[in-house]
Amino acid sequence: MKTHIQGGRLVDASQGIDSVCDLYLANGKVLAIGDRPDGFEPEQCIDASGKIVCPGLVDMQVYLREPGNSHKGTIASESAAAVAGGVTSLCCPPDITSVTDTTAVVELIRLKAEKAAKAHVYVIGALTKGLNGEEISAMQSLKEAGCVGVSNGHYPIKNSQVMRRAMEYARTMDMTLFLHAEDPWLSQGGCAHEGAVSTRMGLTGIPACAEEVEVAKLLQLVEMTGARVHFSQLSTTKAVRMISRAQFEGLPISADVAAHQLHLSHIDIAEFNSLCHVQPPLRSERDRDGLREGLREGIIGVICSDHQPHDKDAKLAPFAEAEPGISALESLLPLALRLSDSGMSLMDIIGCLTTTPAKILGIAAGSLAEGCCADVCIFDPQEYWVLSEQAMVSRGKNNPFVGRELKGRVHYTLLAGAIVYHLG
């Protein structure tokens, strides 16, 4: 299929391009930017006037719920939600109901993703068998099966010696560890940020130091082992500053933040809104501002969705008992675009959603350079729209921004040159 995308504003952080120009696609690849290639006769044309054309988004944290929890979501349903949000490459971390600690599970996910044919699905393998935090997984086999890294998800590795050996093993395999930093003893039983709001509501708090203590420990182990570590879903200002200092000292680390952490705070859990029950919890306004500052300074290089679809019953329980997480794929882009109001350039925002995550994952994505895969997102940055349960593609409707007006809407998503989403 030969496609001509005409008149759009091309923003590609991988090439430093921000200009109005045409894009020519052929055979699933980017054929040319700007001038029409000799003899090029398009089979379809897309008018992108007034819209942004950028690489398909790369989301590092998407729980697909399959296998194990298909009543919450399937690889097919959540891949469809991904492309509705402009995401063409996504990573699924291991979960206790779908522990990717064997090549069979990795192969199952890969085959179902190929059948869905909506988005590129990459698997992060389990760091320990059964996510038990005790026995290191067969990383070599997982790497050979196509895993782009290893993680223990939200499940702790309490024994520091096990974590040290896991880092040493991962380094010999040249694999990146994706780690959620939370001290299990300090956070035990908590469901909200420890502060005035949780105290007033009678909820057990998770102190900010639960994250900061774990980050400090992991940084020491990184320095000892030389392992490459990516910190997932940071939530506190102090953790960002510790990572900044470690990056300055040359440690091989990177970090991401979930888009909702950049706009919500613990104030939003007032009235026991279980849609705002997330892990890590929504922190203070000062922490929220610190995360934004970390993005502007490049300490945090990635914005992810931390997509966690749930069925209705999972969120109908009292706040402390409701399952944490937000169905966030379809609000990822507009929430990220809001950062332009706090001083981030569009180029930097797009880079945090495309080029940088692709580079950390080591995948061929996040660029529209000639010869690259033609994964494209076309969106209107000025269009206001209201996120509604009825319009959400994801099987999970648990999003605190439902009913709110968002700015910036995806109109087309192309995967390897084929249109996989078109706003009707």
pLDDT tens digit sequence for 266-324: 999 988 999 999 999 999 999 999 999 999 999 999 999 999 999 999 999 999 999 99
pTM, two decimals, is 0.96
Q: H/E element holding 80?
A: helix 75-84
**Token representation of residue 20:** 């109005």
Give residue 347's identity as a one-letter amino acid code.
M
Length of the chain equals 424
Say how many CA atoms lie within 13 Å of 395 toward its Cβ.
20
pLDDT in tens, 54-90: 999 999 999 999 888 888 999 999 999 999 999 999 9
* Cis before 37? omega within 30: no
Please give the DSSP secondary-structure letter assigned to residue 331. G
- 409: nearest Cα among 385, 393, 390: 385
Say how many CA atoms lie within 13 Å of 273 toward its Cβ.
19
pLDDT in tens, 207-229: 999 999 999 999 999 999 999 99
Q: What's residue 342's pLDDT?
A: 85
Q: H/E element holding 303?
A: strand 302-304
Give residue 302's identity as a one-letter amino acid code.
V
Backbone angle region of 257, left / alpha / beta, with phi > 0 → left and psi within -120 to 50 → alpha = beta
Query: d(Cα 118, Cα 329) in Å, to the nearest integer?
Result: 14
229-257 in b/e form (b: 16+ CB < 10 A) is bbbbbbbbbebbbbbbebbeeebebbbbb
pLDDT in tens, 338-374: 999 988 999 999 999 999 999 999 999 999 999 999 9
Query: What percentage of the chain carries pLDDT values higher than 90?
Result: 95
Q: What's residue 424's pLDDT?
A: 80
| CB 373 within 8 Å of CB 414 | no
- Say whether pLDDT at 97 is over 90: no
- 220: nearest Cα among 183, 246, 248, 256: 246
Active-site hit among 12, 59, 183, 306: 306
Give the residue-averaged pLDDT of 28-40: 95
| CB 171 within 8 Å of CB 144 | no
311 tagged catalytic = no
| CB 46 within 8 Å of CB 6 | yes
| CB 325 within 8 Å of CB 398 | yes
Query: d(Cα 411, Cα 419) in Å, to the nearest integer?
Result: 11
Q: What is the DSSP string of 164-228?
A: HHHHHHHHHHT--EEE----HHHHTT--EETTHHHHHHTPPEE-HHHHHHHHHHHHHHHHHH---
- Say whether pLDDT at 98 is over 80: no
Query: d(Cα 196, Cα 355) in Å, to the nearest integer?
Result: 39
